[in-house]
Chains A and B, each alone.
Chain A
Amino acid sequence: MSGFRQDLAFAVRSLLRSPGFATVAILSLGLGIAANTTIFSVSDGFIFRPLPFPDSDRLVEVWLTNPAEGWDEMSLSVVAAEAFKEAPSLQSSAVFTEQGFNLSGTDRPDRVIGARVEHEFFALLGFDALRGRLFAPDEDGPGGARVAVLSERLWERRFGRDPSTVGAQVRLDGVPYTVIGIAPTALKIPSLETDLWIPFIPDSAEMDPATRPLALLARIRPDRTIDDLSPEVEAIASRLGGTHGVYAGLGGRVETLENDMYGPEFHRAIMILMLTVLFVLLIACANLANLLLARATGRQREIAVRAALGAGRGRLARQLLTESVLLAFLGGALGVVLSIWGIDALVSVIPADAPRVDEIALNGRALAYTAFLCVMSGIVFGLAPAIQATRPDLAGSLKEGGARGATTGRARSRLRSALVVAEVALALVLLVCAGIMIKGYRTIYSGDPGFDARGVLTMWIELPELKYADDAAVLGFQERLIDEARQLPGVEEAMLGTGLPQGGSTARPVAIVGRALPPSGQKPMIFTKTITPGYFETFRVPIVEGRALDERDREDGRPVALVNQAFAREHFPDESPVGRMIELEGVTREIVGVAADTRDWGMDEEAPVSGYLPYRQEPSRGMFLALRTPADSARVAPAVQAMVARLDPDQPISAIRTMEQIVDDFASGERIMSQLLGIFAALALILAAVGVYGVMAYSVGQRTHEIGIRAALGAEARDIRRMVLRQGLTIGGIGIAIGLLAAAGATRFLGYFLLGVNPLDPWTFGGVSAVLLATVLVASWIPARRATRVEPTVALRYE
């Protein structure tokens, strides 16, 4: 132990004596470790840590699928859910469905996200009530009770943690419910924002096998696996197809709850980021090893003296490893400090509704991971220099000047060059991957989405059934709302719709009147939105044929619909659809116009086959209100809130966002990925440049005598400069060549994140190689200039 203390004390003194070396090494490692700690913390919050439920790996969700349409996550009807519950591999299960509620009965109306769940839901997830109780078996299903469980967050936000909340009444969409319990904060199912749960009591519409609003959460029996369950679910889906025509051709699918939360692309993104930051750390570690090798060369005599005084090789190596591990821990400490900022910065750009985003933090696991990285970096990358340094030519090193017949240290020089080659290769791989992602992102998102998101403010307004009991009441409020909204100062146009561009469509089967069904017997699907007049003006979507929906399209008028160009291409490739009839859920509608396509599923997807229905002919309680303004649309939000309060003081509005925010969040995954890869690739480039500069500067220092000899033999400054630059470019060139080969393999791993770019895109590969070569040239230039200043008289110096 005292030996270790001695080593540590000497290592500290030694680093204090070389502040320049210590600063560069600590900074290099600090940046590399900060990148790793940040990404580990984010990954840990999202997926590494198990879900906060007992045996969470046995929790699954069951879905219907439509292989013909390529849909793998279709919700369930009551009939389907009850059928899937019978799968022998299931231990327990619970139906649930998300639903928004207008919460009143407190000081102000509020829109909250809730869920209707069967009583088994809580036990399935292993939760007890924080206060009060959860649902009893007789409280769900037909004839169930009007009781509610609040989230701890809502209890705190709206009720100030008042104990008397349990037993009190709240009104949800105007209907009174008794609060029977408070659920702990950790219960964030179905979503992070779920604030209350009520029992699932199906209404008559939901009992229709064609109505599919439900999800099924289930727990697999301890002696079974998901592989046992999957064929059972498939078989049940097949049987359903035989008994209910609406399920013909559909399949069943099981997914673990965790995978269902994130999906395979998210896991791939995390893997890519983890590998990326590991590469950055490897580059930083290569710099550390190079610095240690250079330092060991300068300490040859000190090491030889220690050896001559009886220090064994192991003892010497331990001394040197103590220094490298100390450096790594100092770098790690810097990395942890930087990662606190990095995590905050990253969390601030992740959409707030991302699952488990609130669990992302620098915790004990992240610190343990950082400590592991420090130890590994210090030992693995300190080992080679320690081995090299403790293999001294004892007699030679102790002689004045040592042997000088020919320049020495070729093996050490090769190791240093090899490390830089690896750095350049790794940096190139990262730069190419980042370059391809950024190119894909830019290509896609610089395109035309088909609508103009600038200057549009949106919000959600859902009218409670109790207060707005029939269509007349709903339409009456919505007409007043849209009229008043259009009168607000600074509002150019306003509209109501069940959906916005990029969200809110309803998939429905459609038939073209006069045409036979396809051979499968399944009607094709159309994604519809119900809208008021003003939709296309608000979002500046052109009508390319026929007319827009307008005030003529009343509830007592002829049923009409508007379709988009994708619909026209799909169903009327050689003729105009205007004037043709379609059948939607039993209603025959005339197509009165064709709107331009909008990329509703994101810029990387084609426009879906879509239709628009007049709001008077298909009223809906829940509608988005969107307002076009000439400039900063968020500024009209208070005026809109005041207007709604004037119309109905109990009516909450929610999800107030600009359309630009919605578009931005829609692509947030790709944007964050390309930004992060870009940042880490830039970091890799800087570290690689430091590596090249370090090696070249060291090499020039080591070759001072040789350069003097060359000068004595008649080499001019340009000869010397060319020689040094050639060495740098050779190292860089080999690194680039290896990197290109590695990148050709790595880009295929990007999968979805290629975003349509050729994985061997010659412009990206060529551009990145040129940037890297230029960086190597710049990094070699300063040492090259220094080399030209070597005096030829050094050739005559024997010492």
Chain B
Amino acid sequence: MTTNHAPLIRLAGIGKVYTTEELETHALVDVDLEIAEGEYVAIAGPSGCGKTTLLSILGLLDTPTSGEYELEGRPVASLSAAERARARNRRIGFVFQAFNLIGELTVAENVELPLVYGGHGAEERKRRIKDALERVGMGHRIKHYPTQLSGGQQQRVAVARAIAGEPAILLADEPTGNLDSENGRQVMDLLAELHRAGSTICMVTHDPRYAEDARRAVHLFDGRMIGEREASAAGVP
């Protein structure tokens, strides 16, 4: 471990097996990982290595078939579906490769969504929407629909939605995967800026250039952790 902070996330011996009628696929095998508060961790590896599976387990979207997972010191295996939903809403923010904005909702309504599920009052929601969108530079587009925005702008809105609830950790799944290099760079700069401001970030990427933006990179191959390195890229604290 390379941080002095207490671990926000602790995985021990995590395994994930997908079983079909004819086949048993080991997506993750014996993965150990700790992420401390304030860290910026990249999970890197080629397509099909288990990156997204690991991220979905981290984000409480999926459950491991074996091993232990503690979030902020609490084992998540015992959480009910409703408690997992609440934990996702209050402690975790997601940024997806395909942005995953809802086309029928405006920019502001998309950002508001986790706040509605979190039970925040109207005034509080309004303030947080404004703050989040201004932080990502999209304060002037609040009434637009996603289809009226460029890919880079949509991903900025997705980041605003992820941080609006002030989560403990931001999970980003290939956040530049659907963007050209210029927009991809801008989104990475935005994540770096959030990290500098204190956010904990865990990002999945198969692009080595972006993996270097993170302070620490974990490498997966065929579902196993095969290495870990400290990043030294400029601009990374």
Contacts and interface: CB of A to CB of B under 8 A. Distances in A.
B146 A719 contact: no
Contacts of B117: 710, 713-716, 719
A796 B55 contact: yes
A711 B81 CA distance: 10
Interface string A705-737: 110011111111101000000000000000000
A407 B104 contact: yes
Interface in B123-177: 145-147, 151, 154, 161, 165, 173, 177
A407 B102 contact: yes
Nearest to B150: A405
Interface in A390-449: 404-408, 410
B114 A714 contact: yes
Contacts of B114: 713-714
27 contacts: A405-B101, A405-B146, A406-B103, A406-B145, A406-B147, A407-B103, A705-B100, A706-B102, A709-B96, A709-B100, A710-B113, A711-B61, A712-B59, A712-B94, A713-B114, A713-B117, A714-B88, A714-B90, A715-B85, A716-B85, A716-B86, A791-B61, A791-B62, A793-B61, A795-B100, A796-B61, A798-B177
Contacts of A710: 102, 113, 117
Interface of A: 404-408, 410, 705-706, 709-717, 719, 791-793, 795-796, 798
A796 B104 contact: no
Contact of A406 (B62, B102, B173): B102
Interface string B103-117: 110000000011001
A406 B56 contact: no
B7 interface: no
B103 A792 contact: no
Interface in B66-115: 81-82, 85-86, 88-90, 94, 96-104, 113-114
A113 to B, nearest CB: 71
Contacts of A791: 61-62
B52 interface: yes
B171 to A, nearest CB: 10
B85 A410 contact: no
A186 B116 CA distance: 76
Contacts of B97: 798
Contacts of B85: 711, 714-717
B118 interface: yes
Contacts of B62: 791, 793
A405 B88 contact: no
Interface in B5-32: none
B186 interface: no
B183 interface: no
B113 A405 contact: no
Contacts of A793: 56, 61-62
Contacts of A792: 61, 88
A410 B103 contact: yes
Most buried by B among A408, A717, A719, A795: A795
B61 A716 contact: no
Given A404-B98, A406-B154, A719-B117, A713 B103 contact: no
Most buried by B among A406, A716, A795: A406
B200 to A, nearest CB: 18
A177 B114 CA distance: 98
A714 B86 contact: yes
Contacts of A706: 102
A716 B116 CA distance: 11
Nearest to B164: A713
B89 A713 contact: yes
A705 to B, nearest CB: 8
Contacts of A716: 81-82, 85-86, 117
B103 A712 contact: no
Given A407-B103, A408-B103, A712 B81 contact: no
Interface string B184-200: 00000000000000000
Given A712-B61, A793-B61, A405 B98 contact: yes
Contacts of B61: 711-712, 791-793, 795-796
A717 to B, nearest CB: 7
B178 A405 contact: yes
B110 to A, nearest CB: 9
Nearest to B154: A405
Contacts of B165: 714
B224 to A, nearest CB: 20
A712 B101 contact: no
A399 to B, nearest CB: 12
Contacts of B86: 714, 716
Contacts of A410: 103-104
B119 to A, nearest CB: 10
A705 B101 CA distance: 10
A717 B154 CA distance: 27
Nearest to B86: A714
Nearest to A713: B114
Given A405-B151, A712-B94, A793-B56, A717 B161 contact: no
Nearest to B161: A713
Nearest to B81: A717
Contacts of B154: 405-406
A187 to B, nearest CB: 69
Contact of B82 (A407, A408, A717, A795): A717
Nearest to A706: B102
A407 B61 CA distance: 20
Top 5 nearest A-B pairs (CB, nearest first) are A714-B89, A406-B103, A406-B146, A407-B103, A714-B117
Given A407-B104, A796-B52, A796-B173, A713 B88 contact: yes
Contacts of A405: 98-99, 101, 146-147, 151, 154, 178
Most buried by A among B61, B82, B97, B154: B61
Most buried by A among B81, B151, B161: B81
Contacts of B146: 405-406
Given A406-B145, A792-B88, A796-B56, 11 more contacts: A404-B98, A405-B98, A405-B147, A405-B151, A406-B146, A705-B100, A713-B89, A714-B88, A716-B85, A792-B61, A795-B100
